[in-house]
Structure 1
Amino acid sequence: MEIIRKIDAVLSKIDKFLMVVLASLATILAFINVVARYLFNSSFVWAGELVTYLFIWMTLFGASYGFEIGMHMSFDALVKALPSKLCKAVTIFSTLIVLVFLILLTVWGINLVKFDYMTGQVSIDLQIPFWIIYLAVPITMATASWRTFVKLIEIIQTPGIELKKRGPAELEEAEEVGS
């Protein structure tokens, strides 16, 4: 389990770093483009496209990180009202469903990248191959799958009675640990 935690910690640092860098670059580029447009009546044609791709990548890495800290929406009031063993079983089942979905998105993302690589399509302004742009999908869905797998292991190792006690404080603790 120690190796899993180390891998998860590295992924967490990478995700946070990329979110900050991508958001910063997109914001700075958008600001420079607005200044250029209004002060010099000229803007960078490619800036809007690049800002869009930077924000998409940032959002997908943020979504992956959200799986680590338990930030995604869940409706667990009903599940927590169940007896401990049933609560644990339902939690494991729902986590498995999410894991399968994320794995399918990873596979779909890989197929999308392969397809775009074969077609050779490029973006209009930047002339970047679409397969590079779409790499964000399989990368982030794979890391989200990993994080969900780690959560599944934690759920399996946690007694049902403890699962029933978890609540919004868990998110706050995860944010504090991640900081």
Structure 2
Amino acid sequence: MKYLDHLEEWLIASLMAAATLIIFFAVLHRYASGYQIPLLQNWLLSLNLSWAQELCIYLFVWMAKFGAAYGVRSGIHVGVDVIVNRLEPRYQKAFVLFALFSGAVFTGIVATLGGRFVWQMAHTDQTSPDLEAPMWIVYLAIPLGTSLMCFRFLQVAWTFIRTGEVPHHDVGHVEGLDEELKGEPA
């Protein structure tokens, strides 16, 4: 599992870094090409970066799909547990398992339907407008990312059954944040 965890983290960080660099260079290109430096301006104007925005959108979509799976694994995914925390302890376990298995079923359905959609899309000649990439590759983020998210829900449920613990993101480790949240000066 550690290899999958590291692959997931590496993929998210790489997609985010690539999108950030592409946006940075596209903006730099836009402003630098306005300077009246003959050779530089001619060279910059000869570059076509019309594909940059489309690629960044696709990179962020992929990053968000895999980031949601990471969120389930690490406990930072959005969860509403106000009602569960007010229940008697004997009912809490059942509600937590119901929520985890509901997440797994939902993401399993989305992954299956996404896979069928990608399969159908692969048999068309549809390409993206600027990159001219096959659209099935773009949409492959849906079944891959959502399948991983389904796996993570099942993984968290299995851990909860064995240990009674679910991952939770604790921001209290940030220096001074505990006191700040309590209203005390840091």
8 Å CA contact retained: 1:114, 1:131: yes
Matches for 1:56-135 after TM superposition, within 5 Å: 56-135=61-140
In the superposition, the TM-score normalised over structure 2's length comes to 0.79
Cα distance 1:155–1:147, how it changes in 2: closer, same or farther (>3 A)?
same
User: Counting helix residues as a fraction of each chain, which structure ranks higher?
Assistant: 1
Instruction: Give SS of 1:75's match.
Output: coil
| Residue in structure 1 matched with residue 15 of structure 2 by the alignment | 22
Q: Identity across aligned pairs (percent)?
A: 31
8 Å CA contact retained: 2:69, 2:145: yes
**Structure 1 residues 117-167: Cα deviation after superposition (integer angstroms, max 9, x where no partner):** 1122100111100100111111111111111101111222235xxx6xx7x
8 Å CA contact retained: 1:19, 1:58: yes
Q: CA deviation at 1:29?
A: 0.9
Letter in 2 for 1:23: M
8 Å CA contact retained: 2:121, 2:135: yes
Letter in 2 for 1:136: A
Matched, 1:51 2:70: no
Letter in 2 for 1:138: P
Letter in 2 for 1:25: A
CA RMSD of aligned residues (A): 2.0
Higher relative contact order (CA 8 A, sep 6+): 1
Aligned residues: 160
| Residue in structure 2 matched with residue 150 of structure 1 by the alignment | 155
Query: Higher Cα Rg: structure 1 or 2?
Result: 2
In the superposition, the TM-score normalised over structure 1's length comes to 0.82
Which sections of structure 2, spanning at least 5 residues, go unmatched? Answer: 35-44, 174-186
8 Å CA contact retained: 2:84, 2:92: yes
The 4+ residue runs of structure 1 with deviation greater than 4 A are none
